[in-house]
Amino acid sequence: MIRFQNVYKRYPQGLEALADINFSIDQGSLTLLKGHSGAGKSTLLKLIAAVEKPTAGTVLVNGENVGALKRAAIPWLRRNIGLVFQDQKLLFDRNAFANVMLPLAIAGFPPAEADRRVHAALDKVGLLDKARVMPVALSGGEQQRLAIARAVVGRPSLLLADEPTAHLDEGNAREVARLFHEFQQVGVTVVIATHNEELYMPYATGRISLAHGRMEAGA
C-alpha cells in the first residue's frame, strides 16, 4: 500500500526533515508514527499525500510514485486519501453538513448520493443531530469528529491523521481512537502521527518511530 525507499526531505533553508527513510505499510493496517515534536512525522504524512515532494528517494502509494506525479494528477491521488489534521482545517463559514459535503462536491457526486453519504458519515461519528450546526458551536472533540467524517465521506482507501487527539480530553480522544479502529476494521489503511502511543495501543498493527528525521524502528 505505502512504501518508502531511501527517502530524504530537505527544505530550501537547509533543514533536513527526513533522512534515509525505508518502510512499507500493508493494506488494512493501523500504523502509528511516533516521535517528538520536529521528528518529521508531519513531513512524512505530507510526502504520502503529495503535499511535499521528497528531495531524494521514492514514495509509493498503491504502486504509484507520488513524488513524481505531475501537478494535475495530484488531486486524483488525494481523492483516495482521507486527511485529518491536528487543527481540523474546518471551514467556519458553513455548517457541519456543508463541511462534510465538500469532498463529494469536489468529486462531483450527484446530490442525492452525496446527501446520503454525508448523513451516513455524520451518523458514524455521532454528529447527525448537529448537521446544521456551525463548527464554531461544536466542542473540540466534536470538531475533530467532524473532520474525521469529512475525511472518510469519500470512502478513501487510506486515512492519514496528524495528531488527531492532541487537543482533546481523554474521553474524546478514546472516542476518536475507536473511530480510527472501526475504519481500519473495514479495510481502510490508517496512519496516525501521535505522541500518545498508549491511546492506540490496543488497535495498532504497526509502529514507525522517528527521531530527528531518522527511523528508529521499522514498521
Decide whether 106 or 217 has the Cβ nearer to other proteins: 106
Distance, in Å, from the CA atom of 195 to the CA atom of 163, rounded to the nearest integer, reads: 7
Identify whether the C-beta of residue 21 lies closer than 8 Å to the C-beta of residue 56: no
Distance, in Å, from the CA atom of 22 to the CA atom of 67, rounded to the nearest integer, reads: 15
Decide whether 88 or 196 has the Cβ nearer to other proteins: 88
**Residue 139 is placed in which grid cell?**
466542542
- In which element (H, E) is residue 211 found? strand 206-211
Smallest separation, CB 22 to other proteins (Å): 26
Smallest separation, CB 82 to other proteins (Å): 9
**Residues in touch with other proteins (CB under 8 A):** 49, 51, 72, 75-79, 83, 89, 91, 93, 102-103, 105-111, 150, 154
Smallest separation, CB 48 to other proteins (Å): 12
Decide whether 87 or 216 has the Cβ nearer to other proteins: 87
Smallest separation, CB 78 to other proteins (Å): 4
Decide whether 104 or 204 has the Cβ nearer to other proteins: 104
**Residue 173 is placed in which grid cell?**
480522544
- Sign of the alpha-carbon dihedral angle for 82, 87, 93, 94: positive
